[in-house]
Amino acid sequence: MDWDEQIGEAIRTCDSLLFVMTRDGVKPNSVCKREWTLALKCNKPVIPLQLELDAELPFRLEPRQFIDFTRDFEPALARLRKHLLWLAEPEGVLQTLKIRVADATRALSRAPESDRPRVMKEIADLERQVEQQERIVENPHATAPVSAADWREGPPPMQARTWEPTVLERTKKDLALYIGPMAKVIVDRTAPRTSSLEELYKILAAEIGSAKDREKFLASRPR
């Protein structure tokens, strides 16, 4: 695998991308732009870090807030660590979803007519996920599952299995490729109600809007 392929693979499988804003890095033809553009396509949170005062946030990355590294480094690093932890919390997942809605809405205005139905469906799916995540934020201890419709009522199965953490981490990464950071919350809430990996993947697949992507996700299940 060459260097470009390694970078692409790292972006597709990461939890989030740190974009260091320098004068060169924010130029329209910079390598950095290609990298954070790929991160957006893969539904990864992009966290801008301002390293130079005259490096302005690219328009496509609004309304994200950058972390200021132009002054004291250690306090800025502490804020970054705190922000990364917050992204995995229900409120952080909600904010990431809202930003994705803003990104998709902006993309809709530039999309060709043939592509507009797909973008509109993406926006509708994201808005549904925002509503779902808002309920989780309001009631973080709710036990109602968040996956397929037939799993929204009723208690967990009597013989729900105990999952190995490594299995759930792999499942979260597989699902995050298609729905972004909300995968962590959905897997954590769905896994206790399933008794096999095949069942878990089938239920999680319902969260993916594209039929082709659902097939890819199901095919990624460890055998």
Among 142, 168, 188, the domain-final residue is: 142
CA distance 148 to 67: 37
pLDDT tens track for 122-137: 899 999 989 988 988 8
pLDDT tens track for 144-158: 444 333 333 344 444
Q: What pTM value is reported for the model?
A: 0.64
Among 104, 120, 142, the domain-final residue is: 142
Provide the residue range defining the domain that includes 178. Answer: 145-223
Tell me, yes or no, whether 78 and 104 share the same domain. no
Tell me, yes or no, whether 198 and 169 share the same domain. yes
Tell me, yes or no, whether 165 and 135 share the same domain. no
Contact partners, residue 67, CB within 8 Å, separation at least 6: 47, 48, 49, 50, 76, 79, 80, 83
CA distance 165 to 28: 41
Domain count, the chain: 3
CA distance 165 to 147: 20
CA distance 127 to 47: 22
Q: How confident is the model at residue 172 (pLDDT cuts 50, 70, 90)?
A: very high
| Of residues 39, 41, 37, 51, the one with CA closest to residue 15 | 39
pLDDT at res. 141: 61
CA distance 37 to 22: 17
